[in-house]
Amino acid sequence: MNTPTYDLAVVGFGFAGAAVSLQAHRRGFNVGVVVDPHGNFPVASRVASGLINPLVLKRRRMVSDAKLAWDHAVDLFGWLEQTTQTQVFENTPVAEHLATVQDDLDWNLLAERPGFAELLISETEANANKHLKINRLGFVRTSGRLLPLAYLDAAHGALEDRMVLGAVLQLAQTNGFWEAFDASGRVLIRARKMVLCEGPRAPLTETYWGDLGWALVRGEGLDVHLPGLDLNRPIHARHFLLPDRALGPDHYKVGATYAWDGLEDPQPTQAGREELEAWLKSVVSLPYEVVHHWCGVRPARKSREVLVGWHPEHPGLGVLNGLGSRGGLLAPLKAHQLLESGFAALSD
């Protein structure tokens, strides 16, 4: 069988790999993607809650290039929705809980700060939902929810005939092409440029870039059935609560925890469930049922910097990783920047 050969090959198909391959496909590049159907590590993007929110309220800051990242994310999600006729994004602003009068005043001050004014809605609102034990709410204009499974499935559909199933064990460079081999020594894909998007386990990336300085973070969440709440937007107050229409009416996601243990074999824990349920009871006055308890690992680095770019000694080898807890928001912009900087060589 002939080895599929492309201009650009992407290894991995979480938020990073999907963004790189979709952005490349949109530019008309001949792109192929290696997808591991039996990945033995949970794929972060498939358990992500999908909040797209540049505000880090606790630290009173925005992620860097917040507006640019938002513009690229909305542009890519919109393009995919149009191409596949599938909804992948809910453009409903996230509501931040303002628990005290001081929080409310702080929000007003924050909304006036340079860099915040166009991203936050300065007027706050009193909570009108009698089942929520919440005072006031502040809204982030540039926020919403990516539907992770719908997004990845739609992206898969858009790239259908360019998907190669397998797990890459090794790379080699032959006659100006990068080749990716699986465990049996078979060449899965061949391309002039290859981008590694391995997520929180990244042995191939570490082979070329060395120690990535990981500070991986395990996260847990709950799917709950909560009849009568009638909440139609995500709310965030230490944890988040968001309507999950894909699971059906009255279904919500609650999450996510932050933990630095159990990274080798990430599993939901009793402690994680208790933390989330205690929080849920502190903000909602209705009975609920937990229908699922899930867990994943965020690919975060000690430096908090996203690893993106082309290898200095191997210009045909690129990487996008280290997206941390905001992969949904950041991946489209970072993928765009990666392709911009490799553009000239790709279109030679």
Ligand X SMILES: Cc1cc2nc3c(=O)[nH]c(=O)nc-3n(C[C@H](O)[C@H](O)[C@H](O)COP(=O)(O)OP(=O)(O)OC[C@H]3O[C@@H](n4cnc5c(N)ncnc54)[C@H](O)[C@@H]3O)c2cc1C
Binding site for ligand X (CB under 6 A): 11-17, 34, 36, 39, 43-45, 47-51, 167-168, 197-200, 204, 219, 221, 255-256, 296-299, 321, 323-329
**In the complex with ligand X, which residue's Cβ is closer, 44 or 88?**
44
**In the complex with ligand X, which residue's Cβ is closer, 12 or 318?**
12
Q: How far is CA 199 from the centre of its chain?
A: 10
**In the complex with ligand X, which residue's Cβ is closer, 28 or 210?**
210
Placement of tokens 């909305």 in the chain: 74
- Shortest gap between Cβ of 326 and ligand X (angstroms)? 5
- Rounded to whole angstroms, the Cα distance separating 284 from 291 reads 17
- Shortest gap between Cβ of 47 and ligand X (angstroms)? 5
- Shortest gap between Cβ of 88 and ligand X (angstroms)? 13
Is residue 151 within a helix (H) or strand (E), and if so which, with residue range? Answer: helix 148-158
**In the complex with ligand X, which residue's Cβ is closer, 50 or 243?**
50
Which residues share a beta bridge with 235?
95, 241
Q: Are 192 and 315 in contact (CB under 8 A)?
A: no
- Shortest gap between Cβ of 102 and ligand X (angstroms)? 27
- Shortest gap between Cβ of 182 and ligand X (angstroms)? 8
- Shortest gap between Cβ of 277 and ligand X (angstroms)? 16
Q: Are 292 and 247 in contact (CB under 8 A)?
A: no
**In the complex with ligand X, which residue's Cβ is closer, 100 or 267?**
267
Distances (CA, A) of 134 to 29, 71, 298: 49, 31, 29
Which of 172, 114, 155 has its CA nearest to residue 18?
155
**In the complex with ligand X, which residue's Cβ is closer, 17 or 243?**
17
**Do the bridges between strand 163-165 and strand 31-35 make them parallel or antiparallel, or are there none, so unpaired?**
parallel
**In the complex with ligand X, which residue's Cβ is closer, 113 or 238?**
238
**In the complex with ligand X, which residue's Cβ is closer, 234 or 342?**
234
Q: Are 331 and 299 in contact (CB under 8 A)?
A: no
Which of 218, 206, 293 has its CA nearest to residue 253?
293
- Shortest gap between Cβ of 233 and ligand X (angstroms)? 14
- Shortest gap between Cβ of 109 and ligand X (angstroms)? 26
- Rounded to whole angstroms, the Cα distance separating 327 from 321 reads 9
Residue 216 has φ and ψ, to the nearest 5°, of -60, 150
Q: How would DSSP label each residue in 50-108?
A: -EE--EEGGGTEE-TTHHHHHHHHHHHHHHHHHHHT---EE--PEEEEE-SHHHHHHHH
- Rounded to whole angstroms, the Cα distance separating 326 from 215 reads 15
